[in-house]
Amino acid sequence: MVVEKFCCFSLESTAKFFGVWGMIGAVLEIVIDIFIIAHANEVSAFFQKCGLNISESDIQLLYIIYIVLALNSAAGSFCLLSGASEKRHNLVLVWLICSALGIVTSIILIFFTGLYSGLIGYAFSTYLWIAMYALYKRIKWEGQTGFSLPAEDVPKQMA
């Protein structure tokens, strides 16, 4: 099964949209994380009032990890945007790898935490990943052959 559109949008438009929004989301995440790190003592005091013993240094470490993950997300989103715009399949591959790691990690966390409220989001993320994989294959095919073929004409080993 080859995906030719994401909902009713072209794969290129979808890649550009989610590339831009992924970068915006990552920047917002980084700003929020920096704010929390700067106010870690207040956050720690709040948690202690709630009965959770989480130290200021633990909060800072956790949010530094979140910043690293957000930077990774921003880089992957930039690669998706650039790969779709410039027809460079290797850049789309970077996003595919980052996104797949995120999806797998999220699914593992579902089983450890027992929180199933995000299943619809994970299903959506998986559908987006499949669509971007189809874009990756098409860009790679066009780069190798110089031809732009309909999806049904792509050889089985490429599909």
DSSP string, 74-117: HHHHHHHHHHHHHT-HHHHHHHHHHHHHHHHHHHHHHHHH---T
Please count the other Cβ atoms lying within 10 Å of the Cβ belonging to residue 76: 24
Confidence of residue 102 (pLDDT cuts 50, 70, 90): confident
Give the count of beta carbons closer than 10 Å to the beta carbon of residue 84.
Answer: 27
Mean of pLDDT values over 13-28: 96
Alpha helix ranges (H) inside the chain: 11-38, 40-49, 56-86, 89-113, 119-145
pLDDT band at 157 (very low <50, low <70, confident <90, very high): low
Report the residue count for the chain: 159
Q: What is the mean pLDDT of residues 78-92?
A: 95
User: Per-residue pLDDT for 2 more than 90?
Assistant: no
Model's pTM, two decimal places?
0.80
The conformation of residue 8, written as its DSSP 8-state character, comes to T
- Give the C-alpha distances (Å, rounded to integers) separating 143 from 73, 85, 91, 97: 26, 14, 13, 20
pLDDT at 4: 85
Instruction: Report the pLDDT averaged over residues 140-145.
Output: 86
pLDDT band at 153 (very low <50, low <70, confident <90, very high): low
Residue of higher predicted confidence among 100 and 107: 100
Task: List the one residue out of 33, 127, 18, 6 whose CA is nearest residue 77.
Answer: 18
Check whether 106 has a pLDDT greater than 70.
yes
Strand partners, 5: 10
User: pLDDT value at position 83?
Assistant: 95
Query: Once rounded to an integer, what is the mean pLDDT over residues 63-87?
Result: 93
Q: Which residue has the tokens 């995906």?
A: 3
CA distance 9 to 138: 16
CA angle in degrees (0–180, nearest 5) for 96-75-66? 100
Of 148 and 33, which is predicted with more confidence? 33
- Please check the confidence at residue 52 and state whether its pLDDT lies above 90: no
| Predicted confidence band of residue 118 (pLDDT cuts 50, 70, 90) | confident
Is the pLDDT assigned to residue 159 strictly greater than 80?
no
